[in-house]
Amino acid sequence: MSIQLGIFLLYFALVFLIGWFSLKNTRSESDYWIAGGKMGWLVGGATLSATHTSAGTFIGTIGVIYTAGWSFGWLVFAVVLAYWFMAAFLAPRFIRVKELTLPAFLQRRYYSKTPRGVAAIIILIATMVYIQAQIIAGGLVAQVIFGIAPKTGMLIFTFILVAYTMIGGMIAVAYTDFLQLIIMVIGTLVAIPVAISHFDGLLDMLMAAQYLHPITFTWDGFSGSLLFTMGLAFFLGGIATPEKLTRLYAMRDMRTIRRAILLTIILVTTLNLSVFLLGVAGISMFPLLPKGDLAMPMIAKALLPSFTGTIMLAAITSAMMSTVDSLLLVAGSALSEDIYQTFIHPAASQKTRMRIARAGILITGTLPLAAIWLGWGQGELIQFIVLLFTALMASGFFMPVMGGIWWKRATKEGAIASMIGGAGMTFVWKIFGWGGLDPVLPGFLTSAVLLVLVSLLSPAPPEKALEPYFKTSP
**Main-chain phi, psi angles of 251, to 5 degrees:** -90, 155
CB-count exposure of residue 465 (10 Å: 0-12, 13-18, 19+): buried
Q: What is the CB neighbour count within 10 angstroms for residue 10?
A: 11
What pairs with residue 251 in β-bridges? 39
pLDDT at 207: 94
What pairs with residue 256 in β-bridges? none
Closest CA to 160 of 285, 286, 317: 317
Domain ranges for the chain, please list them. Answer: 2-384
- Start-to-end CA span in the chain (Å): 65
- Measured in residues, the chain has a length of 474
pLDDT at 474: 45
3 state SS of 39: strand
pLDDT at 2: 64
| Pairwise CA distance, residues 372 & 51, whole Å | 23
pLDDT at 417: 98
User: Under a CB-based contact definition with an 8 Å cutoff, are residues 205 and 196 in contact?
Assistant: yes
| Pairwise CA distance, residues 55 & 52, whole Å | 10
| Pairwise CA distance, residues 27 & 34, whole Å | 12
**How many alpha carbons fall within 13 Å on the CB side of residue 173?**
35
What is the amino acid identity at position 299? I
Task: Mark the ranges of the chain whose per-residue pLDDT is less than 70.
Answer: 1-5, 23, 55-56, 144-145, 164, 168, 302-309, 312, 319, 322, 375-383, 434-435, 472-474
Those residues with Cβ within 8 angstroms of residue 214's Cβ, 6 or more apart along the chain or in another chain = none
| Pairwise CA distance, residues 30 & 200, whole Å | 54
| Pairwise CA distance, residues 324 & 343, whole Å | 26
pTM recorded for the entire structure: 0.87
| The CATH fold of domain 2-384 | Sodium/glucose cotransporter (1.20.1730)
| Pairwise CA distance, residues 235 & 36, whole Å | 28
User: Under a CB-based contact definition with an 8 Å cutoff, are residues 63 and 293 in contact?
Assistant: yes
What is the amino acid identity at position 49? S
User: Under a CB-based contact definition with an 8 Å cutoff, are residues 11 and 155 in contact?
Assistant: no
3 state SS of 251: strand
Question: Which segments within 176-327 are labelled E, that is strand?
Answer: none
| Pairwise CA distance, residues 427 & 25, whole Å | 40
pLDDT at 7: 72
pLDDT at 377: 55
Give the sign of the dihedral formed by CA 150, CA 155, CA 160, CA 164.
positive
| Pairwise CA distance, residues 81 & 130, whole Å | 22
